[in-house]
Structure 1
């Protein structure tokens, strides 16, 4: 079962700093991140999602490879690459992995311009060590799928860090 946590930071740079720290902790086997997206709101009110994987580009690259392979088999590699890239890009654009984009945009609509909301889908974690690391960065909990007691522990830890700075 995955856990969703959304934390608002004063800037997109701070949210990115925390996301990079989560990836470092993943290398230390303290957490297994399924997805980590940063949402920001522009001055014009538009919501921007900074995702890890651009599924359209990944789909196009994959489609190009398979199209080339099929094209070589049928003696027309250039046509195979073009058709493969186009179909891969379309398939990638239609694929939504990780956290639902519409859900993130709805929650991010409440952000102040300039804030960064870090959405993290956690598959596994050593909670006490991860919490200690991310609480040092402060932030405000926007939404979680944690039970109420664990959510309160997270809120308290982040609040202490925010008050100390």
Structure 2
């Protein structure tokens, strides 16, 4: 089962940096991200949502390939496979993009928008859906990175949520030089 974690940050860049850190932790097999979204609110209060999975682009790409192949096959029947490929590819890309934009994967878009509306101006929030993770190691790495944030929502147990909030509330103090 996946766990949802939403962390708010007091500026617009920290959510990006935190996601970059999680992606590097995934390369070390400490965390497996299912979905991630960054929401930022600029000084004028406008929300910007950055999805990690662009379903519209994926749908358009797969539709182009599938439509192009079917179009080429139909075009062979009429002795013009290039025109069939072009027409089929265009129709397939359009249909794929439309179906991709209507699909929802991972974190619910309404939930993202509703919670995103609550963050203050000039701030950001990171929404992550984690499949698997090693809590102690991930918390240690986040604490080392020095991210200051506030847990907004989570599906973690109260104990795990408390540990996460503590990791996001305290910077690791640098050791004085000897």
Q: TM-score higher than 0.5 here?
A: yes
Which of these residues, 146, 149, 153, is aligned with residue 159 of structure 2? 149
User: Number of paired residues?
Assistant: 164
Offset from partner CA, 1:59-86 (integer Å, 9 cap, x none): 1111000011001101111110111011
Match of 1:159 among 148, 151, 169: 169
The answer to whether residue 14 in structure 2 is matched with residue 29 in structure 1 is no
Q: Which runs of 5+ in 1 are unaligned?
A: none
Alignment partner, residue 91 of structure 2: 83
Contact 1:65 1:84 in 2 (8 A): yes
Which position in structure 2 is the counterpart of 1:120?
A: 128
Task: Classify the secondary structure of the residue corresponding to 1:74.
Answer: helix
Question: For residues 82-121 of structure 1, what are the structure 2 equivalents within 5 Å?
Answer: 82-121=90-129
* Runs of 4 or more consecutive aligned structure 1 residues displaced over 4 Å after TM superposition: none
**Offset at 1:53?**
2.0
- Distance in 2 of aligned mates of 1:114 and 1:144: 23
Root-mean-square deviation over aligned CA pairs: 1.6
Q: Does the 8 Å CA contact 1:12/1:38 hold for their aligned counterparts?
A: no
Query: Taking structure 1 as the reference length, what is the TM-score of the superposition?
Result: 0.93
* Runs (5+) with no aligned partner, structure 2: 76-83, 174-178
**Structure of larger gyration radius:** 2
